[in-house]
């Protein structure tokens, strides 16, 4: 949407360990990024770091930026730019960050959740257009996207017809707090994040050794010594839980789904179980079973499954004795895959596009 736009927006990747400042123009980073270490326990020093970083980036530009746009952790009141009580940023507890930065730089400031901006970036320049390009020659096109990120947490976002769905309380797609299928008294985030990979592997292996989620993946791939069966089972359990959560949200949104975050690299291990969980059946009170959703999911990262997804299932239906003939596709297909931009680029493009869209609406 904004790949050729000449306007520049200042951006920020706000991690707990470092702040990475940059600037985007036409969906492309146009400066050398600036990385600074914030003091997240001291509000004055943290705010000074933000001002310093955006100032250093601004000095590299040949023309002034039109806005500042970035992701910041929640809970937050994103439309008003008030940052809530953050565990990883103890200095922030009801801080009007948007108003502060607007006063300092004289620019409109837009703050969002990283899961939202990740999904928005993938919808405009990543996974959604990638899938639609694969459908060249077909009448089928997709406009809606569900995005999830698997890492230390479980983030999400929803885009409907190129518009980011924010919600009335700026809390749309807070899917982390959905109920976990395999642990019904727990939130789903605790079954699909990096801590869950480590915890489940230890349980399945019956071993309390210290491992990282990356090491569990390496064990599952046979690249590191360990209990391979337990590692494979770990990603099967993760895939089942993630698939159930996606089935819930896709039943409402009806669109494609893209997965990002550090754990997404293990998609070859968990994605088949995600697809199986979406395409499974569920019981009714009379003992019968029905499809889990009215949708049929396909793993677009798997060549064979992608072929089935792309193959036309449409046919002509007619009424005998008339000349009425209508195309009919009885299969409600959705594709599930992984990020085509990478998390950081997707979030940056999402932040850039969100700012320009809001400016154009004004």
User: For 298-349, how does the pLDDT look when each residue is reduced to its tens digit (9 = 90+)?
Assistant: 999 999 999 999 999 988 999 988 999 998 989 999 999 999 999 999 999 9
**Is the pTM here over 0.85, yes or no?**
yes
Average pLDDT in the 131-149 region? 94
Specify if 178 maps to a domain.
Answer: yes
Would residue 334 count as lying in a domain?
Answer: yes
Shared domain check, 148 and 56: no
160 lies in some domain: yes
Q: Tell me the per-residue pLDDT of 52-72, one tens digit each, with 9 for 90 and over.
A: 999 999 999 999 999 999 998
Residue 286: half-sphere exposure toward Cβ, Cα within 13 Å: 3
1 pLDDT more than 80: no
Query: Do 279 and 146 share a structural domain?
Result: yes
State the average pLDDT over residues 178-189.
94
Longest dimension (CA), the chain: 79
Going 167 to 173 to 177 to 181, the CA torsion angle's sign is positive
Same domain, yes or no, for 42 and 13? Answer: yes
Q: Which domain holds residue 268?
A: 127-340
In a domain, 122, yes or no: no
Cα separation, 193 vs 15, whole angstroms: 17
Segment 247-250 long-range contacts (CB within 8 Å, at least 24 positions apart): 247/277, 247/278, 247/292, 247/293, 248/178, 249/146, 249/156, 249/158, 249/173, 249/175, 249/178, 250/146, 250/278, 250/293, 250/295, 250/297, 250/334
Q: Provide the CATH number for the domain around residue 147.
A: 3.30.420.40
Q: What is the pLDDT at residue 165?
A: 94
Q: 25 with 140, same domain?
A: no
């Amino acid at each position: 949407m904004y790949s050729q736009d000449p306007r520049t927006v200042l951006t920020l990747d706000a991690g707990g360990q470092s702040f990475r400042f940059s600037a985007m123009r036409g969906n492309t980073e146009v400066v050398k990024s600036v990385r600074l270490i914030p003091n997240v326990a001291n509000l004055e020093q943290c705010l000074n770091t933000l001002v310093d970083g955006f100032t250093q980036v601004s000095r590299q530009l040949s023309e002034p930026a039109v806005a500042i746009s970035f992701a910041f952790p929640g809970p937050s009141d994103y439309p008003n730019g008030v940052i809530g009580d953050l565990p990883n940023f103890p200095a922030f507890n009801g801080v009007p960050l948007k108003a502060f930065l607007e006063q300092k730089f004289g620019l409109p400031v837009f703050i969002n959740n990283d899961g939202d901006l990740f999904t928005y970036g993938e919808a405009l320049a990543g996974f959604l257009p990638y899938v639609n390009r694969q459908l060249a020659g077909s009448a089928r096109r997709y406009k809606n996207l569900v995005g999830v990120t698997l890492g230390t947490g479980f983030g999400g976002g929803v885009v409907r017809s190129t518009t980011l769905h924010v919600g009335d309380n700026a809390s749309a797609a807070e899917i982390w707090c959905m109920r976990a299928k395999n642990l019904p008294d727990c939130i789903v985030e605790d079954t699909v994040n990096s801590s869950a990979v480590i915890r489940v592997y230890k349980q399945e292996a019956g071993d309390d050794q210290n491992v990282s989620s990356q090491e569990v993946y390496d064990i599952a791939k046979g690249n590191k010594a360990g209990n391979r069966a337990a590692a494979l089972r770990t990603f099967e359990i993760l895939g089942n839980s993630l698939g159930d959560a996606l089935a819930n949200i896709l039943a409402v949104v009806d669109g494609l789904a893209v997965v990002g975050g550090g754990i997404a690299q293990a998609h070859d291990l968990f994605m088949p179980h995600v697809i199986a969980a979406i395409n499974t059946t569920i019981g009714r009170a009379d003992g019968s079973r029905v499809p889990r959703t009215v949708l049929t999911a396909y793993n677009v990262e798997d060549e064979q499954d992608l072929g089935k997804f792309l193959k036309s299932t449409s046919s002509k239906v007619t009424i005998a004795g008339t000349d009425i003939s209508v195309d009919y596709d009885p299969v409600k297909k959705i594709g599930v895959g992984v990020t085509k931009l990478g998390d950081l680029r997707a979030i940056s493009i999402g932040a850039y596009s969100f700012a320009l869209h809001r400016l154009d609406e004004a």
